[in-house]
Structure 1
Amino acid sequence: MARRDRVRDGALRLLRTPAVRAHADRGSVRLSGLTDRAMVRRDDRGVPWIIAHDERDLYFASGFAQASDRLWQMDVLRRRARGRLAEVLGETVVPEDVRARRLALERVARQSLELVDRASYACLVAFSDGVNAAIRRLRRRVGLPVEFLLLRYRPEPWTPLDSVLIVKHLGFDLGTNLRQEVFRMRLAAERPRYATSFSAPRYPIDGAVTIRRPGQGVDKRLGRPGASESAPVVELPEQSRAWLRGLLDGETSPGSNAWAISGRLTRSGAPLLANDPHVLFTQPSIWYQMGLLLPAERAKAYGITVPGLPGLIAGSNSRLAWGITNATVDTQDLCLLDGPAARPTWRQESVISVRGGADVAVRAAGGQRHVEFDAPGPDGAARLGLFWSGFVPSTEIVGCMRMWRAETYPRFRAALRDFGVPVLNVVVATADDVIALKTAGNVPRRRPGSGLAPASFGDVAESWQDLLSFDELPETVNPAEGYLISANHKLVPDDAKVHVGVDWVAPYRAERIEQLIRDGSISAEECARWQNDLADGRAARVLPVLLDALAARPPTDPLARTGHRLLSEWDGHARGDQPAPLVFLRLLQALVDRWVTEPLGADLATSMPDLTLQVDHLILDPEARRQLGETEPLPVVVAEALETAIARIVTAHGTDPAGWRYDAVHRVNDRHPIAKALPGLRGLFGGDETPVGGSGHSVCLMTPDRSGAAIEGAPWRFVAEVDPAGPVLRDVLRHGSSGLPGSVHYDDQTPVHARGQTYLVPLAGPQGAADRTLTLLRSRPATG
């Protein structure tokens, strides 16, 4: 046996031993930190239900369960937020650590922790105690997760600050406007000739709006851009460029689908809620399934959280179900640090320890609501800073612990007041047949028209007049249509009372969901099928125009004519086993190359956050093409682009169209963080590649990168039928509950997820599962 194979087999044995033992827990164990007792009862998927007599023991046991399943992932999440990844993963992650150190999230996290009420703080401490009890038990009984062994370090004790930091960093990850502002700044400085073409937002005029005026429908027209700020003609400073590296590639991606339907429209008469939050595909998933039960208070809930956070962020209790989407409102503003007002009011110096490399010194500085990107230079060069509403202290960690217990919309709404970051659209359905959507989080009150591009420090500070009050944030309750949809599209009409932003994700998913609701027979089973709907909303918008162009000027190459035929016969559903979706993907990429990459250059083009809407605007608007400098008529452009697309396909897949399957390239290959430090072991931690259908604009979101690989989608799918007699819940999580390679629950849900199926989930948890129940008992006091 070759040495490499022996190393691999030995590593696999290391992987399996602690994983199998960890999920075989049954019986009882005594632990310090409990006030009485709690139970961790697991279902057939290894998903834990936590049962306790009081809240502190409930959160102790939930921390214990999370750490038992996902300890290394929890450690990575807090290290990301603190800027300490390089200590264990090495030089490749130094830019991430520098960014985190300059964000100085620990500063606002400490301020936020001081605002937490005493009872909630006690629950945070109990959660931390449970995590630490699991760490001690893992070290004594089954060994730490193998990532700690391979990287040769031990986890530090968990603290309440770690939990707060994780949610703050998640809030920064879900911010979207920063990328738009950087792109507009670079465009003005590096390619000013094209600023008119690509600076303005291109959201369709009268397109789908989340909270719409009575009678407002969906209009497929693309609109003319509104007024926009002029980006200052300043080169992006080198420190800022390094700070932003890794944030600017590809289109804006954080998204989700959520919809609620009144019982008056459903087959059963009970309201329905569906949610599938979108994130980058990773191994394990960022989501963690969990049930919480307090029998003495008749409180029970099921849903998901992020490992390291107590409570639930989406799910259902006995009377109310809720889902979340990124609101994609504008909470970030870049500024030029000019003038005495921009001088920092605080400074921090720190050193990043780098595994296998030299230490890196980092200076962080800023004010009440901003941080500096660039340190002062001797030459007076331009420097950038970032205003972000997440720098205002807030207690969303408390909201996570309150939402799951609220059984009426008014009580649930009150729990949302705690949220600062991330800014979410929260969709609700109750057993009383109330459906609602409420935006929650810190949103700046700013002048309309501001925030599109970087401005002077004084202008940005002046435009941030305050934060919008909770009651001013967008909300709709029981809309006349009987349903509501949140899919990261435009939140409010242009003439809304509050200004929350202008840069939105394309409305194509929202339009398709609305079509399904209007045309379908509405049931929980149908909602679960809709979450797997493969209709490409972008194709519905632009493919007829592209086909008209090809009909006017058919391609001359025989294989390109075959591609034309495949597109003409295509029903617009991005099925993995068909060639047409691949032809459509490569055709659009060829148009991107012609209209965006060639004039802007690859680096700037890659960082365009609203690429889809900009290119679709060019397809549909002759004046936009003329303004760009396109001299050929659309039929010629599309025919040439199709020939380029087919040539690329033939190079990769041959001349036989039977081999042009979309899922030959459109596959999910989940990334495990350890690959950054030990790339040779990536295969031991990631699942097999999964061929998938869907696209970046289907309800079943499967966003492709340039190669066609699916990099983002919905690991968790959830549907709740909120019947007054008790909710009927369905869900599935790509991979599984465990983050321990070798566990049967590491990826046992993946085949079900890939088939578009879900599991029925009893709210009260598994019954008769004594062989999968671990009872946690309070340690006996020491005797003298």
Structure 2
Amino acid sequence: METTVVAHKQPLLKRKWVKISVWILCSLLFFLTLAVGLGYWFVKRSHPGLTGTVIAQPLNSEVTVIRDERGVAQIKAVSLEDLFFVQGYVTAQDRLYQMDMTRRLASGRLSEVVGKQALETDRFFRTYGMHRTTDRLVSMFNEETTRIVDAYVSGVNQYIEEAFSSGKYPIEFRILGYEPNPWTKEDTALVVKYMGYTLSGNFRAELEHYRMIKKLGHIDAPRLFPEYHIDDAFPTIYTVSEASPFSLTELENLTTFAPDEFNGSNNWVIGGDYTESGFPFVADDPHLGFAIPSVWYQTHLQLDGDFHSVGVTVPGVPGVVLGHNEHMAWGVTALSVDQEDLFLEKAHPQNPQLYLFDDIWEEATIIEEVIEIKDEEPFIERVEVTRNGPIINKVVTNGPYQAISLRWTGYEAGEELNGIMRLNRATNVHEFTEGLNGFVTPALSWVYADRDGNIGFRGQALMPIRNNSNGMLPVPGWDPDYQWQGFIPNEELPQIINPERGYIMTANNKPVDDEYPYEIGRSFYPYRAERLTELIEDTIASDELFTIEKMKEMQTDVLNVQARSLLPILLDAVSRSEIITPLSGLEKDVYDMLRDWDYQEKVDSGGALAWNHWYNLLGPALFDDLLGFSYNHNLVIYQVLQEAHQHPDHQLFGSLRDGLQLSLDELARETFAAAIDGIVDIQGKNTSKWAWGKWHTLTIDHPLGAVKPLHLLFNVGKWEIGGSGATPNANAYNRHSGKVTGGAGWRFVADLASVNSMYDIVMPGQSGQVFSPHYSDQVDTWAEGNLYPMVYHKDGLKKKKLVRFVPGE
């Protein structure tokens, strides 16, 4: 009887727990939905108002701002100060947190708001010293530039004051718990210098070459670079023992502070003889690291009776930096010249503040940088500055060290801010070229065209004239023969107007021929330039006229000419190796796939996946054992493999494995097998399902997205992406994870026939405010390779929001 009763109770008990579980689940869902809704409301209420009226005391007259369907502000004013006041205001509306983080990073002040975890970064940037150059840059402002920057600063600060008094400020400031300081002229100057820093990464290469000497010596190191022309880069003026009192680990630590090496770009200009409209075409797509928000900020400025420019700037910098006006269009790539040199210093054995120069001991300047740290005591960074520049390796050393100082042309004062306004007003290529005079940094390849049919190129930067050095290694700071001998004059910079061939193209390739009288650097890359030249020449040879669509197709081209050159060499080597060790069935399938591959790195390409995995293993196999550190220089890998192919008995490197030399055939076979194993781990053995885009994906990260669970709030993605760092559609990636890390954050195509024939896109979007409709609304269109019309006149806007800025009483 008891057994029967218990048997009846069990189903009742289960049903009761089911009801309780359902109730708990529904409650959790309710509170989760409520929390998400409240969070969304809380973030949205912090967004600035994009309609209505703003009262601004500094204004002289009314300014109208029309926001288009992408959130781009079209600003129209009748006075210079009013125009730039409002540009500062609306830029801060969209990008204030980004602006504040940029100036904090560049000036070494991150620790103030994020704590001790940023201390090493702050120590480096305080030592690097960009913030110590801003006064000199501000002193170069002419009278008009001073008025412009003052007005811009005033606009930024009015927004800061309004936002924080009303509680409608970016959510990042709430999360980190601080309010930004007022913006200053020096902050604007600092942003310019920081952009120069990001494109001045030569000291990484110098350190890597120096580490090679320490490992291999003066005789063997150059043998790794048969075509790289650096055999004369190893001066014998000093010995390895003289220049090696620090460890390889310290040098490696210092390279972590070097700018990202993937800072490239493509641009080209086609003369009107070859275009559908009969007017010149301009295309530009600068390549930088991807982040949210974008480095680029779309802006549209109209000053009645003066100028009307549309394009992009960097948040914190007034004007239009890249884009077009009614007369001209222009764009840039990284010039990739060497603006930095490292100097090995000799300190006095009894007084380390004295450094030797020309047999005289000179006293270094000592600067005490006080680094405030959130919830901690301040840290004092004692910066030493020699005649050559700041000692930069003290940051990564704890014991005795040999000082390395840095000289950078960016420490010189330039006229970048004055020049930006000259570019905005330029009416022809000659005025534009003159407008570039005085630009110090960043080093850029400018291409431009005007409505008169002229096309031009100028490699603009302050470039040092070196005496006994080609800039590829640190040089003796104590020897006057290694001092810079001045700077290349403007009239001798690389430049051309209206070349006979009817087009100009730059893609981080060498901008001059071997007859150029100055040494300007050796970190130039040919792959994208070769492909773009091929596309341009083929179009001209076919008598096909360039169209806007053709220009867009070129920007999104994914043919890898590097693979086209190297893959046959490697496949031949694998084929030869099969005589000794037959290929497995899977290996034969992959071999056939690569043999038939068209070198197009499309998202659905199995060949692109196989090639990139294989290529990624070549650098480590060639250099890691030999050098004792990771070295993955694309151009060096290319040249070493080419040399090994042309000279089969060439000694690639001394493998530490059993003291044997590795042949090209062995290298190819071992890395081929390892690449296949790596792909099998992520996409299985069915090669028909292999696809480049499944692994090569884009997730766009916000700085706070590195902290979980904030990544759910701030980061966006993911997208399957084609191309790689070697294709015109350049999408560099982490070779371990496949995550896309950098590429074309802005694309621009212009037909000078009409101001209504200009197109662009910024990735991911215009606004840095999470949950804004313009936070990442341009990514899908960007991933498809499309552009948006750059509406020049307000009548062409489909959707628009109007804000009136009126003078205060």
Match of 1:581 in 2: 608
Q: How does 1:154-553 map to 2 (within 5 A)?
A: 154-192=179-217, 195-197=220-222, 200=225, 202=227, 227-230=232-235, 233=240, 234-236=244-246, 241=251, 244-247=254-257, 252-297=261-306, 299-338=307-346, 339-341=355-357, 343=362, 346-367=365-386, 370-374=389-393, 381-447=401-467, 449-459=469-479, 462-504=482-524, 506-520=525-539, 521=544, 522-553=546-577
Task: Report which of the two structures shows the higher radius of gyration computed on alpha carbons.
Answer: 2
Highest relative contact order (Cα 8 Å, sep 6+), 1 or 2? Answer: 1
CA distance 1:452–1:300, shift in 2 (3 Å): same
Structure 2: distance between partners of 1:100 and 1:438: 30
Report how far residue 349 of structure 1 moved.
0.6
Structure 1: distance between partners of 2:61 and 2:80: 11
Report the more deviating stretch, 727-736 or 627-636.
Answer: 627-636
Match of 1:219 in 2: none
SS of the equivalent of 1:500 reads: coil
- 1:670 equivalent to 2:707? Answer no
Report how far residue 593 of structure 1 moved.
2.6
CA-to-partner distance for each residue in 1:368-427, whole Å, 9 max, x for gaps? 652112459999741110011111111212222321221211211121113111111111
CA distance 1:488–1:265, shift in 2 (3 Å): same
| Counterpart contact for 2:320–2:420, Cα < 8 Å | yes
Match of 1:703 in 2: 732
Report how far residue 187 of structure 1 moved.
1.5
Structure 2: distance between partners of 1:93 and 1:617: 43
| Counterpart contact for 2:428–2:449, Cα < 8 Å | no
Matched residues, number: 750
Report the more deviating stretch, 442-451 or 130-139.
Answer: 442-451
CA-to-partner distance for each residue in 1:670-723, whole Å, 9 max, x for gaps? 2211235x3430221111111101011000001121222211100111001111
| Counterpart contact for 1:237–1:383, Cα < 8 Å | no
Structure 1: distance between partners of 2:245 and 2:705: 34
CA-to-partner distance for each residue in 1:511-533, whole Å, 9 max, x for gaps? 10011111123112210111010
Report how far residue 92 of structure 1 moved.
3.0
Report the more deviating stretch, 566-575 or 85-94.
Answer: 85-94
SS of the equivalent of 2:272 reads: coil
Which of 665, 671, 674 lines up with 1:644 in the alignment? 674
Matched letter for residue 244 of structure 1: L
CA distance 1:709–1:309, shift in 2 (3 Å): same
Structure 2: distance between partners of 1:290 and 1:61: 11
| Counterpart contact for 1:695–1:701, Cα < 8 Å | yes
Match of 1:59 in 2: 84
Report how far residue 325 of structure 1 moved.
0.9
Match of 2:742 in 1: 712
Structure 1: distance between partners of 2:673 and 2:632: 26
CA-to-partner distance for each residue in 1:425-453, whole Å, 9 max, x for gaps? 11111111111110112111112643210
Matched letter for residue 734 of structure 1: M
CA-to-partner distance for each residue in 1:535-589, whole Å, 9 max, x for gaps? 1121122122223323434451211111101101110000111211110011112
Match of 1:208 in 2: none
Q: How does 1:554-593 map to 2 (within 5 A)?
A: 554=578, 556-593=583-620
| Counterpart contact for 2:137–2:414, Cα < 8 Å | yes
| Counterpart contact for 2:644–2:652, Cα < 8 Å | no
Match of 2:160 in 1: 135
CA distance 1:310–1:438, shift in 2 (3 Å): same
Structure 2: distance between partners of 1:503 and 1:549: 29
SS of the equivalent of 1:279 reads: strand
Report how far residue 296 of structure 1 moved.
2.4
Structure 1: distance between partners of 2:797 and 2:694: 44
Structure 2: distance between partners of 1:8 and 1:235: 57
| Counterpart contact for 1:547–1:568, Cα < 8 Å | yes
Structure 2: distance between partners of 1:4 and 1:200: 60
| Counterpart contact for 1:666–1:709, Cα < 8 Å | yes
CA distance 1:264–1:544, shift in 2 (3 Å): same
Which of 707, 714, 725 lines up with 1:685 in the alignment? 714
Structure 1: distance between partners of 2:520 and 2:637: 22
CA-to-partner distance for each residue in 1:271-310, whole Å, 9 max, x for gaps? 011000000010111111111111222x211111111111
| Counterpart contact for 2:648–2:664, Cα < 8 Å | no
Structure 1: distance between partners of 2:253 and 2:421: 34
SS of the equivalent of 1:471 reads: helix
SS of the equivalent of 1:436 reads: strand
SS of the equivalent of 2:233 reads: coil
Q: Which runs of 5+ in 2 are unaligned?
A: 1-27, 347-354, 656-660
CA distance 1:169–1:557, shift in 2 (3 Å): same
SS of the equivalent of 1:712 reads: strand
- 1:732 equivalent to 2:761? Answer yes
Report how far residue 762 of structure 1 moved.
2.0
Report how far residue 247 of structure 1 moved.
3.3
CA distance 1:239–1:548, shift in 2 (3 Å): closer
| Counterpart contact for 2:746–2:760, Cα < 8 Å | yes
CA distance 1:448–1:201, shift in 2 (3 Å): farther
**Cα RMSD after superposing both structures:** 2.7
Report how far residue 609 of structure 1 moved.
7.8
Structure 1: distance between partners of 2:620 and 2:632: 14
| Counterpart contact for 1:311–1:402, Cα < 8 Å | no
CA-to-partner distance for each residue in 1:640-667, whole Å, 9 max, x for gaps? 2211110111122211113321112101
Structure 2: distance between partners of 1:619 and 1:571: 24
Which of 606, 613, 623 lines up with 1:596 in the alignment? 623
CA-to-partner distance for each residue in 1:327-352, whole Å, 9 max, x for gaps? 11111111111243374553321222
Report how far residue 497 of structure 1 moved.
2.2
| Counterpart contact for 1:557–1:643, Cα < 8 Å | no
Report how far residue 17 of structure 1 moved.
2.5
Report how far residue 492 of structure 1 moved.
1.0
| Counterpart contact for 1:534–1:693, Cα < 8 Å | yes
CA distance 1:461–1:287, shift in 2 (3 Å): farther
Report how far residue 194 of structure 1 moved.
8.8
CA distance 1:728–1:202, shift in 2 (3 Å): farther
- 1:122 equivalent to 2:160? Answer no
Which of 39, 43, 47 lines up with 1:15 in the alignment? 43
Structure 1: distance between partners of 2:502 and 2:563: 28
CA distance 1:461–1:163, shift in 2 (3 Å): farther
SS of the equivalent of 1:310 reads: coil
CA distance 1:769–1:642, shift in 2 (3 Å): closer
Structure 1: distance between partners of 2:225 and 2:263: 21
Structure 2: distance between partners of 1:556 and 1:151: 57
How high is the TM-score relative to the length of structure 2?
0.88
Matched letter for residue 14 of structure 1: F
Matched letter for residue 270 of structure 1: F
Matched letter for residue 692 of structure 1: I
Report how far residue 135 of structure 1 moved.
1.2
